[in-house]
Amino acid sequence: MGIHQNLVAGEWVDGADAAPNINPSDTNDVVGEYAMASREQVADAVAAARSAGPAWRRTTTQARSDILFKIGSELFERRDELGELLAREEGKTRAEATGEVGRASQIFRFFGGETVRLGGERLPSVRPGIDVTIGREPVGVIGIITPWNFPIAIPAWKIAPALAFGNTVVFKPSELTCASAWALADIIRRAGVPAGVFNLVMGTGPVVGQAIVDGVDAVTFTGSVATGRKIVGAAAARMIHVQAEMGGKNPLVVLDDADFDVAVDCAVDGSFYQTGQRCTASSRLIVQEGIHDRFVDVVAERLGRLTIDHALKSGTQVGPVVDGRQLDQDMSYIDLGDREGARKVVSGQRLNRETPGFYLSPTLFADTTNDMRINREEIFGPVASVIRVKSYDEALAVANDTEFGLSAGIVTTSRKHASHFEANAEAGLTMVNLPTAGLDYHVPFGGRKASSYGPREQGRYAAEFYTIVKTSYAG
């Protein structure tokens, strides 16, 4: 099997090293070998992106739009094949993975439209005989650093607006999910993006990620809070633009007046689908006392019926955890919950399946309090806690008592409580009678507090990060 190379200045090039990409559903299955770039290679990629910038920003918006539509079309046509590849390297189910490729395709097409729609403003000056115009310009070389849990959608929602608005790109995917990234890079290159405009450098965070932050004009990052903090600090020291989307400890409030089936569906889907590995997963289920016991019983019963197996097997509802390190982290938090005195209603176990993989059944803790570490720290696995509350007011206070603020949901038939929650939940996203995860591609996405730093991503709000405003006066 050949090594999948980095893309630098329009050429496929070897890295300093290479690493295998292992299928978490079957650790005997090597998805491929992927080049790992050196710091010098990242510097070459940044230099290539810098020299390609002036010509790229002068291309017509129509030319850029055509390229983005071409990328979106190929992703759509190949969604089944690329979905299978994604499921194989990341472990989400075939349906989840194919849906994600479809999402990436929609994002490229959306920004194909935004390219030609980007406009400015013309205002009267407060002084006589002067025109004032406000326009948007590309920022320059954008460094893109992404996590493993949405290996094609997150790169898409960063690369598409970067290219749409005339920037050039140096992209580093997570070292766990290089296959989807490499396939996307190949599509972008063949769609007619000029050499140097888009560069792929695979490798580890401390080497390749750090070298990107040291060289580019702006950096957009999605990943954990710990890494985000480092990147935001390094970017601030260089005084470059930075955007960071990070973790969550998202609450789902269930009130006594909730439609019971909707509440159970929201909890099972939001907390456990995609193996709980979503930044918007609901890890804290805040449940009012009147509905509490029945809710816990029925959610537990539903979890017992979930089919956990190989991501590509038909009938699988939950795939494996992404790798051994994440599995160890999940197991250590399950032990911690025991030590903190939480009641394990459904006990997560390592599972054996036909193929060796990182299989873990769901864990549901009850009788937890919001000050337990399992309710304060992001676990990022199929683990959720129930917190019992007396009233809506207490539920809202608990929901907001967290360092995070990404997504917050409520299940209720009370219009009054739903609209009060929308207005008072300290989160970037609110969900009424819906799971905390599950988003549209044409509207802004992002959080508050430690979940997010800098401008919003996606939709037309993406222009806030990927362009710089210029105000021009003419006499």
Within residues 261-290, the interface with ligand NAD by CB under 6 A covers 279
Give the dihedral sign, CA 414/419/424/427. positive
Interface residue with ligand NAD among 25, 93, 174, 243 (CB under 6 A) is: 174
Instruction: Out of 245, 266, 378, 457, pick the active-site residue.
Output: 245
Q: Is 245 designated active site?
A: yes
| Interatomic CA distance for residues 9 and 86, integer angstroms | 26
Tell me, by CB under 6 A, how many residues bind ligand NAD.
30
Q: Which is nearer to ligand NAD, 68 or 207 (CB)?
A: 207
Q: Which is nearer to ligand NAD, 145 or 263 (CB)?
A: 145
Q: Which is nearer to ligand NAD, 69 or 221 (CB)?
A: 221
| Shortest separation between residue 227's beta carbon and ligand NAD, angstroms | 3
C-alpha to C-alpha distances, 99 to 72, 80, 239, 334, nearest whole angstrom: 14, 9, 38, 30
Within residues 373-402, the interface with ligand NAD by CB under 6 A covers 378, 380
If binding is defined by CB under 6 A, does position 143 make contact with ligand NAD? Answer: no
Interface residue with ligand NAD among 69, 108, 110, 148 (CB under 6 A) is: 148
3-state secondary structure of 276: helix
Q: Which is nearer to ligand NAD, 5 or 451 (CB)?
A: 451
| Shortest separation between residue 367's beta carbon and ligand NAD, angstroms | 26
Q: Which residues pair with 134 in a beta bridge?
A: 121, 471
Strands in 3-129 per DSSP E = 3-4, 6-8, 11-13, 17-23, 26-36, 121-124
Structure tokens at 317: 């509802």
* Residue whose tokens read 């970067």: 162
| Interatomic CA distance for residues 174 and 213, integer angstroms | 15
Q: Is 422 designated active site?
A: no
Closest CA to 286 of 371, 374, 369: 369
Interface residue with ligand NAD among 54, 120, 192, 206 (CB under 6 A) is: 206
Concatenated DSSP letters for 203-223?
A: --IIIIIHHHHHH-SEEEEES
Identity at 375, one-letter amino acid code: N
If binding is defined by CB under 6 A, does position 214 make contact with ligand NAD? Answer: no
Instruction: Out of 96, 279, 378, 457, pick the active-site residue.
Output: 279
| Shortest separation between residue 323's beta carbon and ligand NAD, angstroms | 10
| Interatomic CA distance for residues 164 and 215, integer angstroms | 21
Binding residues for ligand NAD (CB under 6 A): 145-150, 172, 174-175, 204-206, 209-210, 213, 222-224, 227, 230-231, 245-248, 279, 378, 380, 406, 451
Q: Which are the catalytic amino acids?
A: 245, 279
